[in-house]
Structure 1
Amino acid sequence: MKTDIHPDYQKTTIQCVCGNTIEVGSTKQDIRVEICSKCHPFFTGKQKLVDTAGRIERFRKKYEKFQNQ
């Protein structure tokens, strides 16, 4: 491995807007993010699936004949 070409790898903290703090290793110091796994709707179970223009129904109707075989 070549010397003096790699950035400094150090322990740092990631701070979310919700107040969650995570300690990780990184080349940057004190990272701030807007959303994390503690407040993201996918991980909290508050995610809403939006069916725009009935796409799910159209898909099911289109392929229902293959389901019945």
Structure 2
Amino acid sequence: MKNDIHPDNYRMVVFKDMSNDYAFITRSTAETTETIEWEDGNEYPVVKLEISHKSHPFYTGKLQLIDTAGRIDKFNSRYKSFKKK
């Protein structure tokens, strides 16, 4: 194997689904400035996700409307002048 091709910041990171507060820990190089205290009492970097396998309709079998960024309101305010007469 070649030397010095792997990233230096490969560490344990918590990924948290913000739509349902599901979190899991795995090794990653994802950059983040936030941290969270995990179940084992240690503090780990956290990456916030909008969707994961616990909230995605393909895996859950249920269709859920998650409007975390106010996308529907943004769309309506942007195109409200184009209403039919």
TM-score greater than 0.5 by the shorter chain: yes
Q: Where does the alignment leave 5 or more consecutive residues of structure 2 unmatched? A: 31-44, 64-85
Q: Deviations over 1:7-46 (max 9, x none)?
A: 3210110000110001110012311100111111111112
- 2:48 is the alignment partner of 1:32: yes
Question: What residue in structure 2 maps to residue 6 of structure 1?
Answer: 7
Q: Where does the alignment leave 5 or more consecutive residues of structure 1 unmatched? A: 48-69
- 2:10 is the alignment partner of 1:16: no
Counting matched residue pairs gives 47
Question: What residue in structure 1 maps to residue 34 of structure 2?
Answer: none
Structure number with bigger Rg: 1
Q: Structure 1-normalised TM-score?
A: 0.56
Q: 2:58 aligns with which of 11, 24, 42?
A: 42
* Alpha-carbon contact 2:7-2:29 (below 8 Å) kept: no
Higher strand share: 2
Q: Structure 2-normalised TM-score?
A: 0.47
Identity of aligned residues (%): 26
Determine which structure has greater relative contact order: mean sequence separation of CA pairs < 8 Å that are 6+ residues apart, divided by chain length. Answer: 2
Higher helix share: 1
* Runs of 4+, deviation exceeding 6 Å: none
Q: Structure 1 residues 8, 36: CA separation in 2 closer, same or farther (over 3 Å shift)?
A: same
